[in-house]
Structure formats: structure tokens, C-alpha cells
Amino acid sequence: MFLHPTPMIRAVLLDLLGVVYDGDTQIAGAATAVERLRQAGLPLRFVSNTTRSPRARIIAQLAAMGIRVGDEELLTPARAAVEWLRRHGRQPHLLVHPDLAVEFSGLEGGSGRAVVVGDAGEAFNHASLNRAFRELAAGADFVALAVNRTFKDADGLLSLDTGAFVAALEFASGRSPVVLGKPSPDFFLSALAGLNCPAADAVMIGDDAESDVAGALSAGLGTALLVRTGKYRPNDETRFDPVPTAVVDDLGAAADWILKARRIEAASGDAL
């Protein structure tokens, strides 16, 4: 069912955790759905707020599921942060998961400091948060890889995500962070760079009604589909504005929706 006028769709952005996989397990039909979108000639970009795994591990994980992803097709907040730190000449003080630290190697020569906060997992504790706070109090810049409220954990329940800890540092320091992951408009637009696709002709598929869906639509994307997998909970689609273009069962259903929209668009063009 189409809740909005039939869109033009020229590119697809996909979230990973909760859309393509849960933990190390592929969500049923995800690999087939990705291949169907590729066969339709749609360029894909995988846009993830995951800040626990380095890029090479994510690409290898997807390959093990039968999903081919080129380095240029994957955008993560860590990559955006490295580019930001280099552009601004900042040396990072990292409050991130230990596995992610390798992404920030080679940045030791910056002229200033920046606190970089990601999903540090068990490394979030009073001592680590207080060290980050003291860096901010001393004048360091404040960079958040993401501000998601929750994520679906390995036990199937929701757990606190990065946003809660970013909010604590923001409250204590009186400083607002530069947000580099979703829902930052720049993150979505960076994913489309080089695709020759206006934002209005792109679709986002995600399980987070706030960061994925409302974030994409606020950034100017023409379509955003909310899937009922991953962190989705009943009535999420009513909690944030803008609301999803459509709510579908999973990535396979999202692919059906997109391909149907393109067939309608093609038929309309033929009728002109």
C-alpha cells in the first residue's frame, strides 16, 4: 500500500543492524532482497550507525551472508569522524568500543583535541565518562558518532545506545556535540555523493523510526520505509515526525515496495 504519491526512486540507502542482520544472523530474505535491488539497476549505499565494529569486519560479515558490499558502498560514522578530525586538525580522545579504535590510527598529529563518543559498551563507566568530561571542560571539541536511544541487543531486548551517554556529557559540559551519524542530514547526503541522484529521488530503509526514517525525510530524501524487524516496536511509526512513507514487514517487503513503485513510475512515463 502506498501512503504517499508514487515516488521517483534512483538510489537506495539501507541500514544494517535490524534490517539486514541481527547480531551475526541474516534476517530472512535479506541477501535475496539486496540482490533484487541490484538487479533492478539501483545503486545501493549501506548506512550504519554501528560503532562497535571496524569497516573490514562489517564487510566480511556481510560477505559471509552472501551480500557483496564494496568499500565505497559502506558509510559509517567512524569514517565520517576520521574525515572530520583530519579536516579540522584534531587529535581524538576516544570514548568508543575497543574494537573500533583501529579506525582512528594515524591521527596523532592534530593541533587540537576532540572527544569522540561512540557505543563503547562495557567501557562506558564513571571513570571513562569523567575523563571525556574533563577533556571537554578543557576546551576539546565534542563529536558524537551517533545519538541513537536504543539498539536491539544479542538477547533480543533493547539496550541503551550511545545517545544516553552523549546526553550525559552534554548535560555536564553544557556543550552540544557535532553529530556525524544518522540522523545528521550531512550523513545521508554524504551517502548520496557521487551517485548523481538528488535526495528527493532516494529511498531509505531502516528499523529506527527516529534516526533512520524521520532523519532521512528531514534530510530531504523523498521516501523512507520503516521495517518491522530489529528494534521496531508496535506504533513506532506514530512517535516521530516526519512519519514513514510506508511501514513494511522486512527488507524483502521493502524491495517489493520499491520495485512496484518503479513499475508504476515507468508505466506513467510510457503513458505520457
DSSP assignment letter at 17: B
Cβ neighbors of 13 (< 8 A, separation 6 or more) are: 44, 45, 46, 47, 188, 191, 192, 202, 203, 204, 205, 216, 221
Give the residue from 127, 159, 179 where a domain finishes. Answer: 179
- Distances, alpha carbon 39 to alpha carbons 44, 193, 249, in Å: 11, 21, 21
Position 191 scores a pLDDT of 95
Do residues 122 and 167 share a domain?
yes
What is the CA angle 195-192-229, rounded to 5? 120
Do residues 175 and 204 share a domain?
no
Residue 218 lies in a domain: yes
How far apart CA 134 and CA 225 sit, in angstroms, is 41
Position 267 scores a pLDDT of 84
Q: Identify which has the larger pLDDT, 108 or 187.
A: 187
SS3 category, 170: helix
Do residues 92 and 163 share a domain?
yes
How far apart CA 248 and CA 2 sit, in angstroms, is 11
Single pTM value for the model: 0.88
Residue 168 lies in a domain: yes
Kindly report, residue by residue over 210-256, the tens digit of the pLDDT: 999 999 999 999 999 999 999 999 999 999 999 999 999 999 999 99
Position 175 scores a pLDDT of 96
C-alpha cell at 236: 513506532
Position 80 scores a pLDDT of 93
Do residues 19 and 44 share a domain?
yes
How far apart CA 116 and CA 91 sit, in angstroms, is 10
Give the residue from 130, 160, 179 where a domain finishes. Answer: 179
Give the pairing type, strands 90-95 and 223-227. Answer: unpaired
Cα–Cα nearest to 11, from 190, 189, 250, 204: 204
By percentage, how much of the chain surpasses pLDDT 90? Answer: 86
Give the residue from 133, 156, 179 where a domain finishes. Answer: 179
Q: Supply the DSSP string of 216-272, one letter for each residue.
A: HHHTT-SEEEEESSTT--TTGGGTSSSPPSEEESSHHHHHHHHHHHHHHHHHHHHH-
Kindly report, residue by residue over 250-261, the tens digit of the pLDDT: 999 999 999 999
How far apart CA 156 and CA 159 sit, in angstroms, is 9
DSSP assignment letter at 212: I
- Distances, alpha carbon 91 to alpha carbons 36, 148, 165, 184, in Å: 42, 24, 21, 22
Q: Identify which has the larger pLDDT, 19 or 5.
A: 19
Residue 117 lies in a domain: yes
How far apart CA 48 and CA 61 sit, in angstroms, is 14
Residue 79 lies in a domain: no
Angle between helix axes 126-137 and 162-173 (nearest 10 degrees) is 40
Residue 201 lies in a domain: yes
Residue 37 domain boundaries: 11-49+182-271
Residue 248 lies in a domain: yes
What is the pLDDT confidence band of residue 150, given thresholds at 50, 70 and 90? very high
Cα–Cα nearest to 89, from 67, 115, 110, 113: 110
Task: Please provide the average confidence, as pLDDT, over all residues in the chain.
Answer: 93
Total domains present in the chain? 2
- CATH number assigned to the domain comprising residue 133: 3.40.50.1000
Position 47 scores a pLDDT of 97
